[in-house]
Homo-oligomer: A and B are copies of this chain.
Amino acid sequence: MKPIRNTIAVLAITLAGFTSTYAQDQLPSWNDGATKQSIVNFVAKVTKEGSPDFVPPAERIATFDNDGTLWCEQPMYFQLLFALDRVKALAPQHPEWKDQEPFASLFKGDVQAALAGGEHAMVEIIMATHAGMTTTEFERIVRDWIATANHPKFKKPYTECVYQPMVELLAYLRANGFKTFIVSGGGIEFMRPWTEKAYGIPPEQVVGSSIKTKFEMRDGKPALVRLPEVDFIDDETGKPAGINSHIGRRPVAAFGNSDGDREMLEWTQAGGGARLMVLVHHDDAVREFAYGGESKIGTFSAALMAEAKEHKWTVISMKDDWKKIFPFEQ
């Protein structure tokens, strides 16, 4: 038996080496270094049967914020750019908007003035453009927009303004038995029509903010009508609540990029055992945008950075850790 055992042992070692090399190759847009290593080490640890850190496949839940974590969120949230395009498209049916804020400023091209009203102005724009139609109609509107609109700076469809290293990471985690979820402050029905194609994440694995719907018969057929009423805000303390409501298991890995993701990472870590908490830091003004701090979009406060250090969360430097940011880069 001994020679056979030795052969098996050699084979096992060879395969282990192969697996590790393969893992590296699955993340070609990541520079080697501590950040990449922390991710690869975590995955190796939780997938190794017999290891004290082993996590059964059913419990390998990984959650990802979307805006600023999986795709770009500058010059403003893409969903807001969608809403602005909708305001323009709907303007002929709403002559009253001409003299009514925040719409009047929008027509003058002054987005900043339009949004000066803060959250109230934002909610008005969202409700005017995201409610009043059936879920089926809204899905079609999103599909049409995402297929035709281009990013103002990159001149590419929005679904190409995704982070190539994160797309690789999603596939790498799934290849290791993880179920990948989006947990975003963005609208759940704004994301679902395109996440499967862009990230390989199906609609049932997308958690987001929502407005209420109402079931009614329209022309003798059942329909869900979108109401101008907030149902759930999936941000900050809402993220653990959204995870609990939609997934019903605690993630073992969570990825974010801003103060809005803090509670999701805390909730993940509090599960105990091997956990991976990661923040994307936007520090590449040349290839993308450098921001964070107390910026209006994608706030990455000094307090969050301190917490990341204290809790040993992994912080991705887009500048140093990513070979490539967007798929369209040469």
Contacts and interface: CB of A to CB of B under 8 A. Distances in A.
Interface of A: 58, 61, 135, 179, 188-189, 192, 196, 202-206, 210, 213-215, 221-222, 224, 231, 237-238, 240-241, 244-249, 263, 266-267, 270
A203 B192 CA distance: 20
Given A179-B204, A204-B249, A213-B241, A221 B188 contact: no
Given A213-B241, A240-B224, A247 B58 contact: no
Nearest to A238: B215
Given A58-B196, A196-B58, A222-B267, A204 B248 contact: yes
Nearest to A239: B215
Q: How many copies does the complex hold?
A: 2
A296 to B, nearest CB: 24
B245 A204 contact: no
A131 B263 CA distance: 22
Contacts of A231: 245
A270 B221 contact: yes
Contacts of A246: 204, 246
Contacts of A206: 248
A231 B241 CA distance: 12
A179 B246 CA distance: 16
A185 to B, nearest CB: 15
Contacts of A267: 215, 222, 224
A249 B238 CA distance: 23
Contacts of A61: 204
A135 B240 CA distance: 11
Given A188-B248, A204-B249, A246-B246, 10 more contacts: A61-B204, A192-B248, A204-B204, A204-B205, A204-B247, A204-B248, A206-B248, A210-B245, A222-B267, A224-B241
A269 to B, nearest CB: 9
A195 to B, nearest CB: 10
A222 B270 contact: yes
Contacts of A224: 240-241, 244, 267
A266 B189 CA distance: 21
Contact of A189 (B179, B237, B248, B263): B248
15 contacts: A58-B196, A58-B202, A179-B204, A188-B245, A192-B248, A203-B247, A204-B204, A213-B241, A213-B244, A213-B245, A214-B241, A215-B238, A215-B241, A222-B267, A224-B244
A213 B238 CA distance: 9
Contacts of A238: 215
